[in-house]
Amino acid sequence: MSSSPRNTRPSDLILLVILVVTMVALTVAFFAGGYWDGMFPPDAVTTQGDEIRSLYDIVFWIAVAIFIVVEGLIVYSVIRYRRKPGQDDLPVQTHGHNLLEIAWTVVPTLIVAYLFVISFQTLSSIDAVARTPDVKIRAVAEQFRWQFDYLADDGVTTLFTEEVATADLGGGMHVPVGVNVQLELTTPDVIHAFYVPRFLFKRDVVPGMTNVFDFTIDPAEAGQTFSGQCAELCGTGHRVMLLDVVAMRQTEYEAWKAAKIEQANATPAPTASAGPVGVTLTVGALNIAFDQLSLEVPADQAFAIDFTNSDPPGVLHDIDIRAADGTVLQDQPTIDGGESTTYTFGALPAGAYTFICSVHPIPAMTGTLTVR
Amino acid sequence: MATTTTVHPAAATYRSGLYEWLTTTDHKKIGIMYVVNSFIFFFIGGVLALFVRAELAQPGLQYLTDEHFYNQIFTMHATVMIFLFIIPMLAGFGNYVVPLQIGAPDMAFPRINAMSLWMLPLGGIILLSGFVLGGTAAAGWTSYPPLSSDRPLASTGPGQDLWIMALILIGTSSILGSINFLVTIFKMRAPGMTLFRMPILVWTVLVTSVLVLMATPVITSALIMLFIDRNLGGHFFDPATGGNAVLYQNVFWFYSHPAVYVMVLPAMGMISEILPVFSRKPLFGYKAFVFATAGIGALGFSVWAHHMFTTGAVFLPFFSLMTFLIAVPTGVKMFNWIFTLVRGQLTFSTPLLFALGFLSMFLIGGINGAFSASVPVDYALHDTYWVVAHLHYVLFGGSAFGVFAGVYFWFPKMTGRMLDETLGKIQFVLMFIGFNLTFFPMHVLGLQGMPRRIADYASAAGWNDLNLAATIGGFLIAASMIPFLWNVLVSLRGGTPAGDDPWEGNTLEWATSSPPPPYNFDRLPEIRSERPVFDMRHGHGAGGHK
Amino acid sequence: MTADSHALTEVEHSPVAGLAHDARGGISNPILGMLLFITSEVMFFAGLFGAYFNARAQNTPWPPEEFAHTLNPLSLILVATVILVFSSITCQWAVNAIRRDDRAGFLRNMSVTVVLGVIFLIMQVYDYLLLFEEGLTHTAGPFGTTYFTLTGFHGAHVFGGVIMLGVILYRGMAGQFSSRHHDAVEAASLYWHFVDVVWIVLFSVLYIL
């Protein structure tokens, strides 16, 4: 070491070539595969999201500039200042340089001060909460489902409740575009987070606290559905806490809302007549999923389901039967994880129905019941 | 200087054998056992990570079909890597190197030092025993209540209580270790070694110890409160009876953010020792570096709530500003390191490669961290894979690369044998590629909306390819451990004898034999700068000063 | 590699002897260690106090009405407070005595300190029993939980302190301390003063504020 260095060994050169070629290839693949666009958030669909996106772009390009300058400096130094054969004398022992050191303290301070100021400006805009929003919805997060209470103008009374959180099951949080929607977040159990990637936004749902935020969906997005999910670990079924936001034109929204209110006020369907049990089926639940998603029973005859909940204690399941339009026809009590029971259902006329876990109205716990 | 054949008189008293290792109070043996113990847990944590990556490689549940078990796996991965790998690993290097670098015969309290060590495997066994006792903790390494306090909803079995007990034990070990470091550094420096002649590693261990001393007891209090809530009917964090769920997060992060600096400052110290040696120049801006380290330590206590921006219960402007500001001292260090290279004479031995890996990867980890300081941007990024990318660029790209730099640098001192350079470079290349392949795609995944801590994702979400890439990268990192382990095994027996000072080192550990005798030194060189061995070799003031 | 033997200085002490002593004079290693340990203990209690003040800010009235009469500062607890403060004084007398090589005075005062510590613990247990009769337990809402956690952990520290002082007393009786060699006594007394100060803060916050 104290003598001048040996020449570079061939194995070192091979490894260097492997390193450089692989990193370059990965970088090229990253750009060629179209992933560079992925370094930006998806296009925002709310006015608040648009502002976050503009801020992100500024932060991102500053970050890219800093990265190129500093990483470039590292690479340059590594190439330029490698020890060459014959360099036996010590290099100049530089201990520091006051001006340089002051410069690289002051300049970053100015950059972060600028970032703080623009972040703070954006923050006060997107965190603003209207006193009288156009639409007010209370999202209730529970292990492991979302439920949306649509509130009256007083902001307290529930007009109706959307119990199904995803659009593929005919539900979802329907909201009008172009108006200010206020979302109030509550939970009776553990911490969750309301997260819709295309809002570029999330907010925790904390027990004992009510979080509120406003958003306005861009009018151009009417007819779109935006998926989201719980972003704060909330237990075994965290992954299945999906939700959809359905953006509607104002008029469509009003019609949807009127239909929902009417449905909520309608007298429940007459309970199906009980009778001797015909067939008995077996259904199990594990990992927040039914073990079968299609059942068949004879028409006009009561039937039973032996139901076993194999999830851990605390994870409740049940089997309800709903009509095609989502109306609950037969409601069964939930059972705890590790328990089993036999549900008896009244006779149903021939047709297609849905059997669903009312605690987890998600695809994995929604099956079709064919009655013939 | 003594040649390798010189037998130090004290070496005769060195006993060998298992009993000696189990009962030793010698800081060098304890330091080596810290390192070995940490590597064992590194491999355990790594295997757990491979489980996670294997499950996420494609949509659908393939391997960990029980999602509760999946939650246990990632909870244990993080807990093991943070509390049983990085923190003790750096403490191990501190233990080995600090007394040598300050010219002390041992740590101030050798028996307490041994106790700190042995608490770690005990804590690890308690933590992981959940796997055979009905389930480990499964509420994430942060274990937020009510999820972690309300048993039926989150975890079954005794795992969460085992987690609490293990962390209290490991925390106590850290506190005792930090007291030991502080007394050793304040009281046992060799004559002539003033504070501003201490090697940078000693400075970073000093600041780290202050952070541990002040912050760890606070998480102990949080863990005890959680335990009381869970087992004794307490009401600290249960909102239903007047408690406050966010209180835990505040107390938890009051420790766990400073803990991030505990996990990275000593690694910064290690590469600050390595870069000057391999560029044959002193560290550029020694004093600025010391002040930046102290500044990070001080600011580190005022940024904890940036982990809680989305809770809606945080005074945002203050924590945002502080989080931005902490980038400044970190940037100062980055430039100090780079200008240590500038106009140097770089020899690309394996320690330098890993140190350069630290520089280039930690840079990314610092820059993508600044995104989260901007509260509105954090609203988009929080709890997504972006954060997973960020923390791994800091803790793996930063700390773990630093650790390997340290292993290659001090292995000759610890064992008297050199590690093989070719195997070392193969490891570096595999690890560097694997690391970037694993964690860079996570930026994109996070931005496109993939949340953390999920076992599965919809095929239609468009995350398939990048997840597969990340999994391939993860297994590449695992593969890079094969040349490393092989290297260690082979070099222990047959490596080139190292001699006292194989690298032309700067600091006092290179002035004694390899391995050093009990109580380290028979004679010490005169200490007139932070590079006493350099001064001894070239004369004080050699090479011209600027 | 050139060996500049004249650039090497012998370590002043033999390395083995250097282990037991600190090289730099000033405050001794055990005492510095204890001061640092106390720092960490302060942070531990800071965490518990943080939780207490948080609970207090969130729940009104504080204390809850049914327990408003339970924490009366002018009761048994005041006597206990005086006892603990006095034990701190006797502890310091013991330290001063051993500094003067007055072993008899050291043992006398240290014995009194240990006895006072035990009396404090007994009084605290008795006070707990009285509170239990009033229905104030650690499960009685945030008020009960924080009260018993704070006082309970303080009590545990008093218990630890009594053990520590007991060991000191035992070693003192064995004649292990002198004016030149009594770092352990100083360190234990620092800990005891710390426990005392924590109690004064606790008493002020819980009973008076």
Cα–Cα distance between B149 and B240 in angstroms, integer? 12
In sequence order, what are the residues at sequence separation of 6 or more whose Cβ sits closer than 8 angstroms to the Cβ of residue A230?
Answer: A141, A144, A146, A192, A193, A194, A195, A238, A241, B451
Write the pLDDT tens digit of every residue in A293-324. Answer: 889 888 888 888 999 998 877 678 889 888 87
A-contacting chains (≥3 CB pairs under 8 Å) = B
- Strand partners of residue A161: A149
* DSSP bridge pairs for A214: A182
State whether the Cα torsion B375-B380-B385-B390 is positive or negative: negative
pLDDT score, position A273? 52
Residue whose structure tokens are 């766990």: B256
How confident is the model at residue B135, as a pLDDT? 87
The set of chains that have 3 or more CB pairs under 8 A with B is: A, C
Q: Name the token pair of A36.
A: 């560079």
Cα A69 from Cα A67, distance rounded (Å): 6
Token pair for A298: 């004879």
Q: B118 pLDDT exceeds 90?
A: yes
| C contact test, residue of B8, B188, B209, B246 with most C CBs within 10 A | B188
Please report the pLDDT score of residue B153 as a whole number.
Answer: 58
How many Å apart are CA B30 and CA B121, to the nearest integer? 13
**Residue A106, phi then psi, degrees to nearest 5:** -75, -45
**Closest by alpha carbon to B365, among A232, A66, A20, A111?**
A66
B502: helix, strand or coil: coil
Backbone Cα Rg of chain A: 30
Torsion of CA B478, B484, B490, B492, to 10 degrees: -130
Residues in chain A closer than 8 A to B317 (CB atoms): 120, 123
Q: Cα–Cα distance between B87 and B38 in angstroms, integer?
A: 9
Q: Which comes out higher in pLDDT, residue B481 or A144?
A: B481
Q: What is the pLDDT of residue B154?
A: 61
- As a whole number of Å, the CA-based R_g of chain B is 23
B321 inside 8 A of chain A by CB: yes
B2 pLDDT more than 60: no
Question: B176: distance to nearest CA of chain A, Å?
Answer: 33
Q: Place A274 in a pLDDT band, splitting at 50, 70 and 90.
A: low
Pick B1's closest partner by Cβ from C1, C26, C142: C1
Residue B542 has pLDDT above 80, yes or no: no
Residues in chain C: 209
pLDDT over threshold 60, residue B481: yes
Residue B137 has a pLDDT of: 92
Among A341-355, C105-119, C135-149, top mean pLDDT goes to C105-119
Q: What is the pLDDT of residue B139?
A: 92
Angle at B456 between CA B451 and CA B459, to 5 degrees: 100
B-contacting residues in C 52-71 (Cβ below 8 Å): 54-55, 58-59
| CB-based contact C189:C141 (threshold 8 Å) | no
Q: What tens digit of pLDDT does each residue of B168-219 get?
A: 999 999 999 999 999 999 999 999 999 999 999 999 999 999 999 999 999 9
| pLDDT tens string B40-81 | 999 999 999 999 999 999 998 888 878 889 999 999 999 999
| B537 contact residues in A (CB cutoff 8 A) | 2
Q: ∠ CA B539-B544-C1 to the nearest 5 degrees?
A: 30
Residue type, B409: F
Q: Which two tokens stand for residue A354?
A: 């849905």
* Residues B229, B149: Cα–Cα separation, whole Å: 6
pTM recorded for the entire structure = 0.91
Contact between chains at C54 and B224 (C-beta distance less than 8 A): no
Contact in structure between B441 and B463 (CB atoms under 8 Å):
no
Q: Average per-residue pLDDT in chain B?
A: 92
d(CA B477, CA B50): 10
Residue C56, pLDDT > 50, answer: yes
Query: What's the first-to-final CA gap in chain B, in angstroms?
Result: 28
Is residue B150 predicted with pLDDT exceeding 80?
A: no
Residue whose C-alpha is closest to residue B222's, from A153, C47, A321: C47
Tokens of A349: 């006329």
The single-letter code of the amino acid at B34 is Y
Of A193, A207, A315, the CB nearest to B310: A193
Residues 6+ apart with CB under 8 A from B539: none
Mean pLDDT of C8-17: 41
Q: Which residues pair with A151 in a beta bridge?
A: A158
Structure tokens at B212: 């541990």
CB A343 within 8 A of CB A128: no
Task: Decide: C168 and C14 in contact? Cβ < 8 Å.
Answer: no
Rounded Cα distance, B333 and B94, in Å: 20
CA-based nearest residue to A206, from C53, B305, B244: B244
List the structure tokens of B205. 């261990």
For the stretch A180-231, pLDDT in tens is 999 999 999 899 999 999 999 999 999 999 999 999 999 999 999 999 999 9
Lowest mean pLDDT among A331-340, B341-350, B361-370, C3-12: C3-12
Residue with tokens 């570029």: A200
Residues near C148 by beta carbon (within 8 Å), at least 6 away in sequence: C128, C137, C138
- B61 vs A: CB within 8 A: yes
Q: How far apart are CA A285 and CA A309, in angstroms?
A: 5
Predicted pLDDT at B171: 97
**Single-letter code of the amino acid located at B199:** P
In angstroms and rounded to an integer, the radius of gyration of the C-alpha atoms of chain C is 22
What integer pLDDT is reported at residue C12 of this predicted model?
42
pLDDT of residue A5: 52
Q: How is chain C classified by DSSP, letter by letter?
A: ----GGGEEE-SS-HHHHHHS-TT-SS-HHHHHHHHHHHHHHHHHHHHHHHHHHHHHHSSSSS-GGGTTT--SSSHHHHHHHHHHHHHHHHHHHHHHHHTT-HHHHHHHHHHHHHHHHHHHHHHHHHHHHHHHTT--TTSHHHHHHHHHHHHHHHHHHHHHHHHHHHHHHHHHTT---SSS-HHHHHHHHHHHHHHHHHHHHHIIIII-
Burial class (CB in 10 A: 0-12, 13-18, 19+), C139: middle
- Cβ separation of B521 and C15 shorter than 8 Å? yes
Give strand pairing partners of A345: A303
Map tokens 């942070």 to a residue.
Answer: C43
- What are the percentages of helix, strand and coil residues in chain B, rounded to 5? 70, 0, 25
B51: phi > 0 → left, psi -120 to 50 → alpha, else beta; which? alpha
> Which has the higher per-residue pLDDT, A287 or B329?
B329
- Are the Cβ atoms of B523 and C3 closer than 8 angstroms? no
| CB < 8 Å from A in window 518-537 of B | 537
Q: What is the ipTM metric for this complex?
A: 0.92
Are A233 and B339 in contact (CB < 8 Å)? no
Q: What is the dihedral of CA B369, B372, B373, B377, to 10 degrees?
A: 140
User: Is the pLDDT confidence value at C8 over 50?
Assistant: no
Using alpha carbons only, what angle is made at residue B95 by residues B89 and B96, rounded to the nearest 5 degrees?
A: 95
- Reply yes or no on whether the pLDDT at C30 is more than 80: yes
Q: Alpha-carbon distance C39 to B177, whole Å?
A: 14
Is A113 an 8 Å CB contact of chain B?
A: yes
